[in-house]
Chain A
């Protein structure tokens, strides 16, 4: 390679390395702000004020969903298998909301440690399959646990 081109290539490589390093450091420093929600464990250790609007995400615990038909309020627990958060929400839930489903709730922490949500979003997973396959997989995992 021509020496001038070699020099240019070296200069550009160093330039790119510097830029990538700078951005990597910035992103690392902002890690907690880039996360779109707290997991229940992160919320447990994080210092948040009661007025702060934040999001918490996790799996809806099986058997925890309680509907109150009088004021249309829903109560459920989300978990990351280490910590749980009890969530209260009034309003319509997304179609994908069900037990075992990942959800993200926006709202604030109440004084007793529960969470008052103003919005509930469903988080679907990266698996795509036809219903018969899903049923078969569910049956297999059940028999494996039994």
Chain B
């Protein structure tokens, strides 16, 4: 079996449901393990910061939320392109399932950033490039969710929605480089693609675990959403009945 036929089989509703169902328990367990260790390490094992003391620990929620909100949008862009060019139906299911998760994490990144900003910077909010572009990301996610239901014809709606996703992807590099391109109140990037990162190893290790935990959480929620959508879409098919009886027995 070639890689292409494997890919086509995986995007069929039936095979997707079976593969997703096999992954979900593993994702749940690994996400909970990472989250448990990550929280313990970030609250107890990591040392306090030289400037911000214990208040810096909100980084362990803020950075994973912000990172995964961008990561999901990156995946959304690839899915939208796949749907527009190759007309893979499952790509549309992914866009619909991932947008609410992305929106939720973006909102969390904004709220935790605001809570961090008040004691450290002295303000809840400032219209600097980083904060504004992340707020724009939230609006884009909301737009994607709204566009889904804005057209009576589902196929037409999908084309508009996916085009909108592609246009919105221009915001991704803006968010990432905003702190380098303009003067902002938000500090520059701690992690560098090239060169050493600017965080002590004892502090970055819990952050890595929390990043992993948030990625696993996002993958889990998106897979559950997608499986629901697929089952609902195919509820008349015979394999759904077989799958349900197999699962319940």
Residues of A with Cβ closer than 8 Å to B? 5, 8-9, 12, 15-16, 19-20, 23, 27, 31, 34-39, 57, 94-96, 104, 119-131, 133-135
Contact = CB atoms under 8 A, between A and B. Distances in A.
B39 interface: no
Interface string B187-218: 11110000000111011100000000000000
A37 B199 contact: no
Given A12-B84, A36-B129, A134-B50, A124 B167 contact: no
Interface of B: 47-52, 56, 59, 81, 84-86, 119-123, 126-129, 166-167, 169-170, 174, 181-185, 187-190, 198-200, 202-204
Given A94-B120, A121-B121, A127 B199 contact: yes
Contacts of A134: 50-51
A34 B129 contact: yes
A20 to B, nearest CB: 5
Residue from A23, A128, A130, A135 whose CB has the most chain B CB atoms within 10 Å: A128
Give the top 9 A-B pairs by smallest Cβ distance, nearest first. Answer: A134-B50, A130-B47, A94-B122, A36-B128, A35-B183, A128-B199, A129-B200, A126-B187, A131-B50
B interface: dominant SS: loop
A34 B184 CA distance: 9
B49 A130 contact: yes
B121 A129 contact: no
B81 A12 contact: yes
A interface: dominant SS: mixed
Contact of B56 (A37, A57, A128): A128
Contact of B185 (A36, A129, A130, A135): A36
A67 to B, nearest CB: 18
Contacts of A96: 51-52, 120-121
Contacts of A34: 129, 182
A8 B84 contact: yes
Nearest to B80: A12
9 contacts: A12-B85, A15-B166, A36-B128, A36-B185, A94-B121, A129-B200, A130-B50, A133-B50, A134-B50
Given A8-B84, A27-B174, A126-B189, A121 B183 contact: no
A96 B51 CA distance: 7
A20 B182 CA distance: 18
Contact of B49 (A57, A95, A129): A129
